[in-house]
Amino acid sequence: MGSFTDSNQKFACYAINLNIAEQEVYMFRLLNMSNIYDLFETRLDVATRLHYLLDHKNIKEYATLAVGDGNCSASDHDLGPRILGNSSPQSVFNLGWRLRTINSAQDMLSAVYRANIPYLKVSVGSEMAMMLRPKLHWVANTRSIWAHLLIKYDFNFITANEALTLYRESDADSEMKYNVWRAIHAEMKENFWKIAKLGKKEAKAQNCQYGGLVYLWADAIANELYERREELASKMPNP
């Protein structure tokens, strides 16, 4: 049996003639699904820990993890110290407790907005919700929005990169920006299902395990796509 790299090289010679559906398959063929599954498992462990801390009312430890290392949207932009420096661990804990009971994306975003915690907006809040209800909630942050935009714009990397400039976590405090983020969050749902489905199919093709929690699985894939975006752009037929 040929290696994963060998199969990629053989497949690449056909890339220039691919239609959109075939480009989807091709791009996912470039990913190492075993690495993505490892990330999914790591994130699942964090999700389990967050539930434990909520259940046992460990307020400080929950807040520290929920807006720290357990939240990529926060840790990527060092928002945890700013959130906890401008609000109490109890307020973060209370929001987490509320998010665990919410059954719709619209209500989840409203709860984040009403909590009015400085620096804790759509990206960090939606990730808090996803880590507690990964079958129901999805995260809208730089990485996941970029993956959504890549699908939306038919794998045109340049257009996806340009469109991403509308969404910056550091500039998400205003009501206008909140509404922009709220709109993109709603728009992402269909493409996140698509990403999860394509990832599952490719994991099977690579004889790998795949994540069963759709939005946590899709988020792990989105993370890999974003981290490798320059490399992938160089290998796609229409970067």
pLDDT tens digits for range 66-122: 999 999 999 999 999 999 999 999 999 999 999 999 999 999 999 999 999 999 999
Residue 32 exposure: Cα atoms within 13 Å on the Cβ side: 9
Measured in degrees and rounded to the nearest 5, phi and psi for residue 235 equal -105, -10
> Could you count the other beta carbons within 10 Å of the beta carbon of residue 52?
12
pLDDT score, position 1 = 40
CA 113 to the chain's CA centroid: 20
* Positions of the chain with pLDDT under 50: 1-16, 170, 239
Q: How many structural domains does the chain have? A: 1
Report the sign of the C-alpha dihedral through residues 80, 83, 89, 90, in that order.
Answer: negative
| Closest among 97, 71, 101, 99 to 83, alpha carbons compared | 71
Boundaries of domain holding 182? 4-235
- The pLDDT of residue 141: 94
Looking at residue 5, its pLDDT comes to 46
At 196 the pLDDT is 97
Query: What pTM did the predictor assign?
Result: 0.88
